[in-house]
Amino acid sequence: MTSHTVGSREEWLAARLELLHAEKELTRRNDDLTRQRQQLPWVRIDKDYRFETPDGTATLRDLFRGRSQLLVHHMMFPGCPSCSSMADGYNGIAIHLENHDVAMTTVSRYPIAELTAFKKRMGWIVPYVSSLGSDFNFDFGVAYTDEEMASGPEHNLHSNWDHSDTPASQLAADETIPSPNDMPPPDAVGISAFALEDGIVHHTYSAYARGVDAMWGMYPWLDRAPKGRNETDRWYRLHDEYADTWVPAVDVGYR
């Protein structure tokens, strides 16, 4: 016997219509936020950031690959389950972005050989490049100096880094992050957007913490599943580490 409320179809429809009104309000608010996001002032980038790629050294401008817009996923480290579960969804959308004047690249502050090997293991097609040795991660809010870590770094554009007002001592530990739990990890997750216009690169947007939820492909679906996210701790893994490997039904049949 289910412990959830059970009702008639008429009761369901009435409740669903009430929810629909709230969803429409959220959609309109999100449209407003999208316009506000696109109206942010652009910041000209004059620093010569360099990245290591499997084909050699590249500039930030090179990462545009002939497009006028660039989206960057700041991945904490190769093997991060959270970042990797986000990146697993990029294979399907990258071709659409690339054909809509938007390049996509994943960046980590690790040696390119490690990134290339992990990218191959995961089967990803989106470029994965190294910012090791450059100021890129530091300048765009996902890496911190030892001095910043000692004093409590600013993250997510403010010092209360998860924006929840939760005391640091009460934050849940994550065994995959090799850092103390009283501050953000040395490299954090985030996304950044850039524009290339008249040969000049501009920074247009960045987001961190819960600001990347919308790019985490499995969560919008889970938010609509009967039990929602249904999380008590981190349940997701690298996609080749699950004990029960999912096989598409087209291969196994439904009987």
Quick check: 53 and 193 in contact, CB under 8 A?
no
**CATH H-level superfamily of 43-226:** Glutaredoxin (3.40.30.10)
Residue 177: pLDDT band (50, 70, 90) is very low
Closest CA to 192 of 74, 44, 75: 74
Closest CA to 237 of 129, 83, 114, 124: 83
The CA distance from 108 to 192, in Å, is: 13
Q: Which residues 6+ apart lie within 8 Å of 177 measured at CB?
A: 76, 185
Here the tokens at position 247 are: 């096989």
pLDDT tens, residue by residue, 26-54: 999 999 999 999 999 999 999 999 999 99
pLDDT tens, residue by residue, 141-167: 898 877 766 666 566 655 444 444 554
Place of tokens 């010569």: 48
